[in-house]
Amino acid sequence: MNGCFAFFILMLPLLSDAQNTQKIILNVPLVEQEEELCRLATIGMIFKYLGVKQYSQYDIAESILHQYEDAPVFVESGILNNYPRNWNSYPDVKVTYLEGFLLERVGKVLSISASNPRLNELDAKRAQFFTM
């Protein structure tokens, strides 16, 4: 019995190594991340893929700053106090801000995180890291 079990254990990787060879490769234009704008570069790539090419990652970042200028994480980081902007002090935005940005421009955005009540306190906690 132990020999059959050992043989089964040895053969299991071969039996479960099924691979899906189908793939879809999308021609998404590359937007090189600059400064601290990782998520915003990603949104820029999605926009360009969808044909919206007039916005840079800096345009998106500036728009989010204006849309959420009272958010503690932006106030405490000091990013709102300098112009031209010092993008190195831009705190990486949380998904809720990206959702709000897209919601205002695209329409309905479905997300699990936007309806999570525990995320309401996240800004205040994140802002502590940027106190001067």
Domain coordinates in residue numbering, the chain: 30-130
What does the pLDDT profile of the chain (132 residues) look like in tens digits? Answer: 545 555 555 555 555 555 667 777 888 888 888 777 888 888 888 888 878 888 888 888 888 888 888 888 888 888 888 888 888 888 777 777 777 777 777 665 555 455 556 655 666 666 666 554
pTM value > 0.75: no
Residue 22 exposed, middle or buried by CB count within 10 Å (0-12, 13-18, 19+): exposed
